[in-house]
Amino acid sequence: MAEKTGPGPSGDFRELAKSFGGVAAEYDRARPSYPQELFDALERLAGRGLEGARVLDVGAGTGISTRLLADRGADVVAVEPNAGMAGQFLAASPGLGLVRGSGDELPFHDGSADFVTYAQAFHWTVPEKSVPEAIRVLRPGGALALWWNVKDSGVAWVRALGERLHAALPSTYHGYGAVNEVTSHLAPYDLRTEHTRLRWERRVSVDHVITDLTSRSYLAALTPEQRAPLLAVEREALLAEFPDGTVVEPYVLDLTVAITPS
């Protein structure tokens, strides 16, 4: 999941999080994946490989990151609190394990994991709970890894899209600029913290981008009648920018890895 920024989910944002269940299929179909360079960087910063590692992928959603971790040879279990997202995960990820739960109260034994990962999800937790929980379930020298795909607002059309959404939805759309600031909550703990930033892009159709927008919490929480005119505006703007119908989406991918004492 990913939209809300700030130190932890308020009641309003917890309600927003529930909206993902109704758009789980759109989420799985249209959300961006992750380049293999992300997992290379994760292994480098953690000082160990994913092959054979026990990984808890928390806030796994429909399994976009979980499947990639499994492809790298990890022994991965997904953790997801939302019933709709969990259902889509099971449909899209046969053979992968799923546990219903949240990062604020991980249903795992002490010292049982090599990695705890959050892909687009840590900002939906209460860090005062989720960080100690991650430390509890990690083995000595284990790694808590947090990462986010964020469209690059240095590109004019991306910046304009954000400005339109903020004007239309001022109470729920707050942009993505502060999403990585939640990693400041790692500071009180005895963790060695590493960070890197990657840049990548994908080429998708205008329809694909509209489906992706539909899966965002600030739009998913609206009724179809409320959502339709906003999406129509974005479709028109995208076609004006990309008249051939192929959108080049630039992403900034922030990765923070926090390693427990060994």
- Say how far apart CA 254 and CA 34 lie, in whole Å: 11
Output the pLDDT for position 75.
98
Output the pLDDT for position 14.
56
Using 50, 70 and 90 to split pLDDT, how confident is the model at 74? Answer: very high
245 has a pLDDT exceeding 90: yes
- Say how far apart CA 184 and CA 187 lie, in whole Å: 6
Residue in this structure with the two tokens 């923070």, named with its chain if needed: 256
**Greatest Cα pair distance in the chain:** 55
- Say how far apart CA 255 and CA 23 lie, in whole Å: 26
Contacts 24+ apart (CB under 8 A), 8-11: 8/125, 8/126, 8/127, 8/128, 8/182, 9/123, 9/124, 9/125, 9/126
8 has a pLDDT exceeding 90: no
DSSP lists the bridge partners of residue 205 as 246
- Say how far apart CA 135 and CA 176 lie, in whole Å: 26
Structure tokens belonging to residue 73: 């040879």
Output the pLDDT for position 15.
59
Using 50, 70 and 90 to split pLDDT, how confident is the model at 23? Answer: confident
Please state whether beta strands 75-79 and 246-259 pair in parallel, antiparallel, or not at all (unpaired): unpaired
Residue range 146-163, pLDDT digits in tens: 999 999 999 999 999 999
- Identify whether the C-beta of residue 259 lies closer than 8 Å to the C-beta of residue 61: no
Residue in this structure with the two tokens 């707050």, named with its chain if needed: 174
